[in-house]
Amino acid sequence: MKKDIQLSAESTIDLPKEDLEAWDIKILHFHLEKEGKTYYDDEMTLPEMFAFTDKTGIMCRTAAPNIDEEEAHFSKLLGEAEHIIHFTISSGLSSGYNNAVVAAHENPNITVIDSHGTAGAIALLAFYARDLINAGYTYEEIIPLLLERRDHLQCSFQIDKLTYLYKGGRCSKLALLGANLLKIRPEIVCDAEGKFALGKKHRGTLQKCLREYIEGMLAAYDNIDRKRVFFTQSTAPEGIKEMCIDIAKKFGFEEIRYTQASPTNGYHAGPNVVGIHFFYDGPHPVTPKNK
């Protein structure tokens, strides 16, 4: 017997396998290209990619699943479920959303959700969808609730050094030299259109700047949903994870998740990058529906 709703997401959701299994989220992988050879983005680790680029000066490439892959993915899932809710990285950052929309062929049983963010922002939407499914909400009821909450997602990260953004053509050499010389560590935030924008600039040691960034981001909102918060790292020195968790506890979060960024998300930002993601539309308790 088919299940009613299957949740699906791109690998940019940045969740470990145990969470994907526990929350029943099917993954479609992004691609990586290194020295002319293509891999799925779970076939290499970020430290391996950073080491390769640091040694050779060559940047790897990342790419969204193509339309054929999306079609095959949806076809398989429709053999197991009546409906699909598929979450993508922001359409302002990747072609993944547009490819998925084309592959869905306007099938009313497939809804593609543009997260307007990445990493933990995608995961927050998917977890909220699972809460609604478990509470007995229907496919038709869940979609508008997801779209409404999407507009209240905080998605950001802090860059340690601009080296990888420069190598990837995302900043100038002048900005690179100035930031590295002054030890400036800028925030990158997803704006209302799901595109990256420059936020506050912090100056000092990595740990000092990360603390300022996280505490400042949490203090900037007066209506945070404290049910869940996600931290995502590319790589980070010892003690950073514990610091993030400690700050989140002080701000009263019930569920704190610290995850490893996928190569797709973490590579262009570079090493020692940490992001934070949460809803800022107040508590949203999900009450089971009468069946």
Reported as a single tens digit per residue, the pLDDT across 87-106 is 999 998 899 999 999 999 99
Residue 40 domain-assigned?
A: yes
Confidence at residue 165, expressed as pLDDT on a 0 to 100 scale = 66
State the average pLDDT for the chain: 91
Residue carrying the six token digits 């420059």: 198
Residues 185 and 221 in one domain: yes
Domain containing residue 120: CATH number:
3.40.50.10170
Residues 142 and 9 in one domain: yes
pLDDT band at 174; cut points 50, 70, 90: very low
Residue 285 domain-assigned?
A: no
pLDDT band at 170; cut points 50, 70, 90: very low
Residues 15 and 113 in one domain: yes
Separation of alpha carbons 195 and 100, rounded Å: 19
Confidence at residue 108, expressed as pLDDT on a 0 to 100 scale = 98
108, 132, 150 - which closes a domain: 150
Confidence at residue 57, expressed as pLDDT on a 0 to 100 scale = 87
Residues 242 and 108 in one domain: no
Residues 133 and 191 in one domain: no
Residue 176 domain-assigned?
A: yes
Model confidence pLDDT, tens digit, residues 209-246: 999 999 999 999 999 999 999 999 999 999 999 999 99
Mean pLDDT of 186-211: 89
Residue 290 domain-assigned?
A: no
Decide: 10 and 88 in contact? Cβ < 8 Å: yes
Percent of the chain with pLDDT over 70: 92
Residues 126 and 250 in one domain: no
pLDDT band at 167; cut points 50, 70, 90: low
Confidence at residue 226, expressed as pLDDT on a 0 to 100 scale = 97
Residue 199 domain-assigned?
A: yes
Residues 23 and 134 in one domain: yes
Residues 15 and 110 in one domain: yes
Q: By residue range, what is the domain housing residue 242? A: 153-279
Residues 90 and 132 in one domain: yes
pLDDT band at 173; cut points 50, 70, 90: very low
Separation of alpha carbons 270 and 163, rounded Å: 7
150, 181, 214 - which closes a domain: 150
> Percent helix, strand, coil in the chain (nearest 5)?
40, 25, 35
pLDDT beyond 90 at 186: no
At residue 274, φ and ψ (nearest 5 deg) are -130, 135
| Domain count across the chain | 2
Residues 200 and 271 in one domain: yes
Q: What pTM does this model have?
A: 0.94
Distance in angstroms between the alpha carbons of the first and the last residue of the chain: 19
Element (H, E) at 103: helix 96-104
Residues 125 and 191 in one domain: no
92, 118, 150 - which closes a domain: 150
Decide: 166 and 172 in contact? Cβ < 8 Å: yes
Residues 81 and 108 in one domain: yes
Domain containing residue 234: CATH number:
3.30.1180.10
